[in-house]
Structure 1
Amino acid sequence: MADPSTYRPRPGEIPTEPGVYRFRDQHSRVIYVGKAISLRSRLSSYFQDISALHPRTRTMVQTGASVEWTVVRNEVEALQLEYAWIKEYDPRFNVKYRDDKSYPYLAVTMGEDFPRAQVMRGAKKPGTRYFGPYAHAWAIRETLDQLLRVFPVRTCSKGVFKRASQVGRPCLLGYIDKCSAPCVDRVSAQEHREIAEDFCDFMAGNTGRFVKDLEQRMRAASADLDFEAAARLRDDIVALQRALEKSAVVLPDATDADVFALADDELEVAFQVFHVRGGRVRGQRGWVSEKGAEEIADIVEHLLQQVYGGESPEAVPREVLVPVAPTGRGNLEEWLSELRGSRVQIRVPQRGDKKALLETVGRNAHQSLARHKVARSGDLTARSQALQELQEVLELDEAPLRVESFDISHVQGTDVVGSMVVFEDGLPRKSEYRRFIVREGTADDTAAMHEVLTRRFRHLLTAPHGAPEETTGGGDEASAGPTGQPVTPEGRPARFAYPPNLVVVDGGLPQVNAAAAALSEVGVNDVSVIGLAKRLEEIWVPGQDYPVILPRSSEGLYLLQRVRDEAHRFANTFHRQRRSKSMTVSRLDGIPGLGPARQKALLKAFGSVKRIEAASVEDLAGVSGIGPALAALVHERLTGEATTRAPSVNLATGEVLD
């Protein structure tokens, strides 16, 4: 642990204006982000008497190696910048108010030419309307199945849609009138978009007008003695009513609000939120997070900040109901109003239906915390025990808080790839995972492991430009930071900038020796290397003739197995992707001048290779990026028919030379 006095700024140089501050560790990694009305007052409180600080805050200050700050004009700007930095850096000591659970949403891809309704998880995409979240995916499918009768929006994948348009026949849903079949031009793109917009309006809570419209049309059809049409409309009304029955009415005044409640103890806090639209519960979610030294008002402020930051305007409701008024309530309302584009109120209900609903959400939060305590009561203890056990058995200077594991995957020397997975504090950190494409001609697993580790730790020491073969993207241009660690021009640590405490390779003594040799050649001498062999689960250490054997019930062995198996899974997944791609050969491959971009342009214009083959040279030349000479060459290669000699062309640019 560092002495905070070694990097404590002089009080006179800290401004008194509002701003946002960042603590960094010895590797220039941001470990905490905070905001303050007065930077001088807030930062001074971290260094006066650390023994009086909350244990979590004291550990953060002792882990830090430097502190920096940015002055802003007002508290709203500080709120926005704090959220942006927390999202960008994912600091270790900031309390996470979102867990890693992926809730399903009903999503409508309004950004596509033919919007599609489907179940979606994970990060939200621009141009897509989301409804939910739902507790179960089957609940979304049941709701969608009821509504497709009235709103026959497309639900098929791009592949199914494309095949249906090519053969001129819709899928089963098109035949049973649960899809308007825009793939075969039963409706135009504009008409299908209007259906999707009506579907979104219904899901957003504007339900009354649709039911009333169907009732009026049913009565009109009955008056005209068109009883078949009236019966179909009656069934449509029943379908809408069944869909509405699945969401209970909780607020009679058609309120749009998000209702938050929490339950906490000394260590953790559980949250629940009900998303109410049009007076009905349209979604529910909950999560449990660690609890720092914050008061409940501060927790509520940061909760709202992280829940709504980055959301689309329609995801922010008119009202936010909370159990305790958050710190900086006025600033939060102003910030949320900017996000929504209209007035947003944060209220603490005192009586009536909203107070009763808040109490219901609170009971859900208490039950969630109780279930979490029962299910994971031993998790933190087990992880701490595993790290301490590995430190003792492997004779490490400190507990291996960051473990990196590497594995190689291939089939008889083809499509050789490597993987790197990262565990921090005993938990996977998937944003730090990396994949490597090993160069062709590598003799065996040990040579491939040597190459992967050499490349990884060369990045650590020199931080060069990102290598193109790493499929996760190239690194940033970097230079040495104040602590000697590479940083980008914007001041962020470069890729691979954080050294591990322990490297785990999949294999026995040969793989371990190859890994140790790679680190030694690069000049890394302060990182421990071990190998975990699958057969007997023994641990191999470089330079030792006999392995370390841990009991099968050991928490340390269990952690190593998890790390090793995750690296194996990650490598195999990447290898299967590359092998599948290499086995997919198109007739367009190998035509000079026809690269992936131009192949994609041709397929988008014609729909299939068969249609490209049937097209004339003039039609091919009409595609953007395809010149006359290249069009003639494509036609000749696909049909085998020689065409009249076209003028010479530069295949890289499509420019006619003569």
Structure 2
Amino acid sequence: MEFEFKAEDYPTTPGVYIMKDESGLIIYVGKALNLRKRLTSYFRSVQRHTPKTRVLVSKIRAIDVLATSTEKEALLLEASLIKKHRPKYNIVLRDDKQYVLFQLDKKSEYPRLKITRKVVRDGSVYFGPYTSSYYARETWKILGKVFPLRKCSDSTFRNRARPCLYHDIGQCLGPCVNVVPRERYMELVKKVEQLLSGRAADLVGMLETEMQQASANLEFERAAQLRDQVRAIRRTIEKQSVVLNSLADMDVIALSATDQGLGLGILFIRRGRLLDNKNFFWPGLTMDEAEEVLSSFISQFYSATKFIPGKILVPFEFDGNPAAELLSERSKSTVRIRTPHSLDEKKILEIARQNASLSASERKKDSILEVLASKLKLPEPPQRIECIDASHLGGEGMRVGMVVYEEGLPEKSQYRVYSFPELENSGDDYAALYNWVGRRIESGPPWADLILIDGGLGQLNSVEKGFSDFWQDDDPAPALASIAKGPSRKAGELDDRIFRPGRKNHLPLKPGSPELLYLQQIRDEAHRFVIGRQRRSRKKKTLNSELLSMPGIGPKTARLLWDNYSSIEEMKKASASELAEIEGIGKKKAEQIHHAFQSL
């Protein structure tokens, strides 16, 4: 039954509209300054819409609206709903992970430089982002060798009784136990801040002058230290290129369309240097959707815990005022979203566009997902793959781990572990997989296009029977396949075998073929994930038993402690006043817990 749109049913206020299909599934979320006017545009001159919008309109069976007082509030609500429901026809940012940053806590008496993925508005100074955590950690190691700042956490720093290994190898001045003049320590902090702020040339010049003076004064050990600092700085900045004459901090976003779809490139410019870049791609989209892509990308990408520069360059004018207001609120400083003005800014925007174009053109039609669909006889490429693996330790702790791959990439935020206490001590993998189907259906969509099971025909048949008994949706159940070790039965061999329902024999996939290697990669990720969770659960169970055996600590208090500390060692180091700061633990209880830990 087609949806009958009546404009008078909707308000003229700002807000968010939620479109649903015949099963009640949310298929699109949008925002509008005037809800009635925006919704009317969908049902007027439908033939002038893009193909994607025409298909969307044909699927609509209900529209809900949520009114807001401002367009900025609507933008914030839209981003939140997209992230939660991941509607099929929205521009969903799959790779929205937090990138690596350097954090320098300037409020501490002895600041430390640490790697983080979240921005906390606590007065710290942040540098980055780096899309490569490996490169960031290598840089951190180099800086730690020549600028010996403390490495330990604040809690450890306050409770340390003797110097750590970093002090012994000369990579920390040991302010925790040594009397280090703060002026000398802050000189190192200033140098690190200069380097990461992009003032490397000034820092190198200053250090080379100090090195020459030390050498002239026959202070050869001091001169050698300064020489190592200069080399470390040059190694750190050699991968960065100067792209702007001004010492500007900005992100530059550009779009490029090909026959394959729409690519987006973003460059991270810090102090005029190109620090890093990242590319995104949405298959099947055209430049007709460019404004929607850009608006949706900005609201989803720049979260409150991500570093947000003061300037974001975009390729064309669009209604970015609500987004700029939202980002300014998130970063607690003014953020401007605008098109390039100077020749330098136009050149850097072209570099971003070329990156976006390269990313889009590299998407081959004959992708691994299309090859997989052909080899497994699937109706279309599996955009969402769920892989499950049943695991237990000697029959104890029966669990099924599930990893999720979307558009060929792991979606770690959707990984899950399902526990089955009713199967404790049974070691029955088949029953666990059968029961998993019921649990998975209870959790609801999004449904997988393909479910990959770690195991052979027995495991495959258990999952197939589960869907036969529990699946009640009008649409077909997800496609199934299982992956079992080959005749060698050795991990890492290339002769694993793929089974599909309705076949007694395995599929003729060649050992070492891209599609088989890809399925092996997903299976190995599921195995790694569930085993890791299994061990973590077993360890925590043991530690929790130790914790609960202590006087004054019951299940509720143990939960509060685990929520605030990652190990019993950290709990032991915490002072009574620190424990008392935990909500739910008073001063008297904190002293009792602290005394119990000190008695161990």
Q: Distance in 2 between matches of 1:119 and 1:633?
A: 30
After superposition, residues 66-77 of structure 1 pair within 5 angstroms as 66-77=62-73
SS at match of 2:507: coil
After superposition, residues 463-542 of structure 1 pair within 5 angstroms as 495-496=443-444, 505-508=453-456, 510-512=458-460, 514-515=462-463, 518=466, 524=472, 527=477, 532=482, 534=484, 537=497, 539=499, 541=501
Q: Which amino acid aligns with 1:133?
A: P
* Partner in structure 1 of residue 582 of structure 2: none
Instruction: Give the fraction of aligned pairs with identical amino acids, expressed as a percent.
Output: 31
Q: Which amino acid aligns with 1:277?
A: R
Q: Which amino acid aligns with 2:484?
A: K
**Are residues 87 and 406 of structure 1, via their aligned partners in 2, closer, same or farther at CA, if it must alter by over 3 Å?**
closer
SS at match of 2:37: helix
* Partner in structure 1 of residue 490 of structure 2: none
Q: Flag structure 1 segments of 5+ consecutive residues without an equivalent.
A: 392-397, 461-494, 613-621, 639-658
Q: Which amino acid aligns with 1:41?
A: K
Deviation at 1:401, TM superposition (A): 7.0
Deviation at 1:319, TM superposition (A): 2.7
For the aligned residue pairs, the C-alpha RMSD in angstroms reads: 5.0
Q: Distance in 1 between matches of 2:186 and 2:31?
A: 44
Given the alignment of the two structures, is residue 572 of structure 1 paired with residue 502 of structure 2, yes or no? no
Given the alignment of the two structures, is residue 407 of structure 1 paired with residue 400 of structure 2, yes or no? no
**Are residues 176 and 88 of structure 1, via their aligned partners in 2, closer, same or farther at CA, if it must alter by over 3 Å?**
same
Deviation at 1:76, TM superposition (A): 3.0
Count of paired positions: 565
SS at match of 1:133: strand
Given the alignment of the two structures, is residue 625 of structure 1 paired with residue 589 of structure 2, yes or no? yes
Q: Distance in 1 between matches of 2:597 and 2:196?
A: 52
Q: Which amino acid aligns with 2:533?
A: F
**Are residues 201 and 626 of structure 1, via their aligned partners in 2, closer, same or farther at CA, if it must alter by over 3 Å?**
same
**TM-score, normalised to structure 1's length?**
0.68
SS at match of 1:152: coil
CA contact (8 A) 1:532 1:538 kept: yes
Deviation at 1:12, TM superposition (A): 1.5
Q: Flag structure 2 segments of 5+ consecutive residues without an equivalent.
A: 487-496, 577-585
* Partner in structure 2 of residue 307 of structure 1: 301
* Partner in structure 2 of residue 547 of structure 1: 504
* Partner in structure 1 of residue 398 of structure 2: 416
After superposition, residues 269-348 of structure 1 pair within 5 angstroms as 269-290=262-283, 292=285, 294-312=288-306, 315-325=307-317, 327-348=318-339
After superposition, residues 344-355 of structure 1 pair within 5 angstroms as 344-355=335-346
* Partner in structure 1 of residue 425 of structure 2: 441
**Are residues 551 and 521 of structure 1, via their aligned partners in 2, closer, same or farther at CA, if it must alter by over 3 Å?**
closer
* Partner in structure 2 of residue 378 of structure 1: 367
After superposition, residues 27-426 of structure 1 pair within 5 angstroms as 27-48=23-44, 50=46, 52-97=48-93, 99=95, 104-108=100-104, 116-119=112-115, 130-134=126-130, 136-137=132-133, 139-141=135-137, 143-145=139-141, 147-148=143-144, 151-155=147-151, 165-166=160-161, 168-171=162-165, 173-175=166-168, 177-187=170-180, 199-200=192-193, 202-205=195-198, 231=223, 235=227, 238=230, 242=234, 243=236, 247-290=240-283, 292=285, 294-312=288-306, 315-325=307-317, 327-370=318-361, 372-373=362-363, 377-379=366-368, 381-382=370-371, 385=374, 389-391=377-379, 404-422=386-404
Pick from 16, 20, 25: which aligns with 1:20? 16
CA contact (8 A) 2:5 2:43 kept: no
CA contact (8 A) 2:96 2:301 kept: no
Q: Which amino acid aligns with 1:532?
A: S
Mean Cα deviation higher: 105-114 or 83-92: 105-114
**What is the CA deviation profile of residues 632-654 of structure 1, one whole-angstrom value per residue up to 9, with x for unaligned ones?**
8995xx5xxxxxxxxxxxxxxxx
SS at match of 2:130: coil
**Are residues 247 and 296 of structure 1, via their aligned partners in 2, closer, same or farther at CA, if it must alter by over 3 Å?**
same
CA contact (8 A) 1:386 1:559 kept: no
Deviation at 1:362, TM superposition (A): 3.5
Q: Distance in 1 between matches of 2:227 and 2:374?
A: 61
CA contact (8 A) 1:147 1:239 kept: no
Q: Which amino acid aligns with 1:417?
A: R
SS at match of 2:69: coil
Q: Which amino acid aligns with 1:169?
A: P
SS at match of 2:163: coil
Q: Distance in 2 between matches of 1:338 and 1:140?
A: 28
CA contact (8 A) 2:452 2:483 kept: no
**What is the CA deviation profile of residues 177-234 of structure 1, one whole-angstrom value per residue up to 9, with x for unaligned ones?**
43232343455999979965874465234668867987998899999x7967984796
CA contact (8 A) 1:260 1:361 kept: yes
**What is the CA deviation profile of residues 321-378 of structure 1, one whole-angstrom value per residue up to 9, with x for unaligned ones?**
33322x11444444444444444333433543333333334344434444x235x753
CA contact (8 A) 2:447 2:478 kept: no
Q: Distance in 1 between matches of 2:128 and 2:270?
A: 10
Q: Which amino acid aligns with 1:140?
A: A
Q: Distance in 2 between matches of 1:399 and 1:228?
A: 65
CA contact (8 A) 2:10 2:36 kept: yes
Q: Distance in 1 between matches of 2:233 and 2:41?
A: 58
**Are residues 282 and 563 of structure 1, via their aligned partners in 2, closer, same or farther at CA, if it must alter by over 3 Å?**
closer
Q: Distance in 1 between matches of 2:277 and 2:134?
A: 15
**Are residues 69 and 170 of structure 1, via their aligned partners in 2, closer, same or farther at CA, if it must alter by over 3 Å?**
same
CA contact (8 A) 2:200 2:233 kept: no
Q: Distance in 2 between matches of 1:94 and 1:581?
A: 40
Q: Which amino acid aligns with 2:400?
A: G
SS at match of 1:349: coil
Q: Distance in 2 between matches of 1:67 and 1:77?
A: 19
**What is the CA deviation profile of residues 307-331 of structure 1, one whole-angstrom value per residue up to 9, with x for unaligned ones?**
334355xx33333233322x11444
Q: Distance in 2 between matches of 1:605 and 1:561?
A: 40
**Are residues 500 and 259 of structure 1, via their aligned partners in 2, closer, same or farther at CA, if it must alter by over 3 Å?**
closer
**What is the CA deviation profile of residues 111-163 of structure 1, one whole-angstrom value per residue up to 9, with x for unaligned ones?**
99976534556x6677675432336455435544554467432346899x689
CA contact (8 A) 2:382 2:450 kept: yes
Deviation at 1:503, TM superposition (A): 5.6
**Are residues 540 and 217 of structure 1, via their aligned partners in 2, closer, same or farther at CA, if it must alter by over 3 Å?**
closer
* Partner in structure 2 of residue 481 of structure 1: none
Q: Distance in 1 between matches of 2:382 and 2:145?
A: 57
**What is the CA deviation profile of residues 458-513 of structure 1, one whole-angstrom value per residue up to 9, with x for unaligned ones?**
xx2xxxxxxxxxxxxxxxxxxxxxxxxxxxxxxxxxx4455667765444554455
Deviation at 1:435, TM superposition (A): 0.7
